[in-house]
Amino acid sequence: TSVPVAVVGAGPAGLMLAHLLGRAGVDTVVVDTRTRQEIATTHRAGILEADVARDLVETGVSDRVVREGREHEGIELRFGGRPHRIDFKELVGASTWLYPQTDVFTDLADARERDGGTVLFGIEDTEVLDITTDAPRVRCTLSDGSRREIRARYVVGADGSRSTCRDLVPEDRRVRYGKEYPFAWFGIMAEAPASAPELVYAHSEHGFALISQRTDTVQRMYFQCAADELVDAWSDDRIWETLQARVAGQDGFRLTEGPVLEKTVLRFRSFVQEPMRWGSLTLAGDAAHTVPPTGARGLNLALHDVKVLADVLLRALGGEGDTALDDYQPRALQRIWRAQNFSSWMTRLLHTAPGDTSFDLRRRLGELDNVAGTRAGRRYLAEQYTGWPTGTRA
Ligand code: DHB
């Protein structure tokens, strides 16, 4: 097979890129080691920026996000046992959409199928070759055992936080920036009605908790746990007791409990690799950068990357050649570091680190009060959380 662009990774970044290129008449082959079923059932984030939701509709992926997603005009911060609403609509005229990443994936995979795009799921032995030439190749074994070689002009590594594509940038020519966190998230799906109309980000002396949602009958919740926490050590009772303690307050707020359908420990870190391009290879989404989950930036950031990348790839293929690709990193990186800062800041704002002193705890309450108790603070949070317009340097 020979196509202008081969894409490694069929998550939202890889599929959205293929969709955007396909709309402009550029063929792609997208490959992924995971099966379609595996990707569609691995729970990930749940919040889309309004611009991302709009792009899904306007670029013709699907309008399901506005039909089945829920628009949220704010979030609640809880600390000191009290609720503090951050009203996005009033503060910055923006909103977000509750729409799970698994649904974004399904919409994109369906759109590829509808539009006749090639996506090879469940492949093995992926090799990306000749990226320093203008004839790179991707080789792999298909799920039926046959070998396939995809010849391309450009290869995109959209293969997620455990990317192998990013290792193709020579070690002495790349820089990796990163930070580990001394805690993780314990995530659950619970069968219960929603406990609150919007998302609740709670900080307590016991640590962080996030109350999110999925449907009228299934809720998504997370709480801060030890980095090496074991899922099996947590019974439903212990989970609910922990969550209730973290959201408890003078207002008597309680979560509506129900059977825990699923539980996972999610480790996370902050990470950026530069450069995001090496020869004919470009990196997009988590392959190039990952953020801690607080603030739900990861998926939004990945989709922003591919919007910029689709634009430069189309220019490159349209006659400008490789020089068009020089625009990718500078245009993507500003938002990446803004999001790195925001995700890391919101994580530190709401979590309690193992070695924190009594000073650290009191200072954090002061910071939370500065955020929730001043208009400038609320506005800062609202602006960062709802995203930045593409391409603006405001
Ligand atoms: C969800 C995850 C997040 O990291 C977040 O900040 C908000 C919502 C979620 O899975 O619903």
180-196 confidence digits (pLDDT tens): 999 999 999 999 999 99
46 lines ligand 1 (CB under 6 A): yes
Task: Output the residue whose Cα is nearest ligand 1's atom 8.
Answer: 46
47 lines ligand 1 (CB under 6 A): yes
Q: Which residue puts its alpha carbon closest to atom 2 of ligand 1?
A: 45
First to last CA, the chain: 43
Question: From the CA of 298, how far away is ligand 1's center (Å)?
Answer: 10
Residues 138 and 126: beta-carbon distance below 8 Å: yes
In the predicted structure, residue 394 carries a pLDDT above the cut 80: no
As a whole number, mean pLDDT of residues 327-343 equals 97
Buried b (16+ CB within 10 A) or exposed e, 208-233: bbbbbbbeeebbbbbbbbeeebeeee
pLDDT for res 30: 98
Q: Which atom of ligand 1 is nearest to the CA of 293?
A: 4
Indicate whether this complex's ipTM tops 0.90: yes
Per-residue pLDDT, 390: 59
In this prediction, residue 388 carries a pLDDT of 83
- Number of the ligand 1 atom closest to the C-alpha atom of 44: 10
Query: Over the chain, what is the mean pLDDT?
Result: 97
| Per-residue pLDDT tens over the stretch 29-69 | 999 999 999 999 999 999 999 999 999 999 999 999 999 99
Q: What pLDDT is stored for residue 270 in this prediction?
A: 98
- Number of residues assigned to the chain: 394
Ligand 1 binding pocket includes 295 (Cβ within 6 Å): yes
Which residue segments constitute the domains of the chain, with CATH numbers given? 1-46+101-179+269-349 (3.50.50.60), 48-99+182-267+352-389 (3.30.9.10)
Among 210, 291, 385, residue to substitute to test ligand 1 (most atoms within 8 Å of Cβ): 210
Give the residue, out of 86, 222, 347, with the most ligand 1 atoms within 8 A of its beta carbon, to mutate for a pocket test.
222
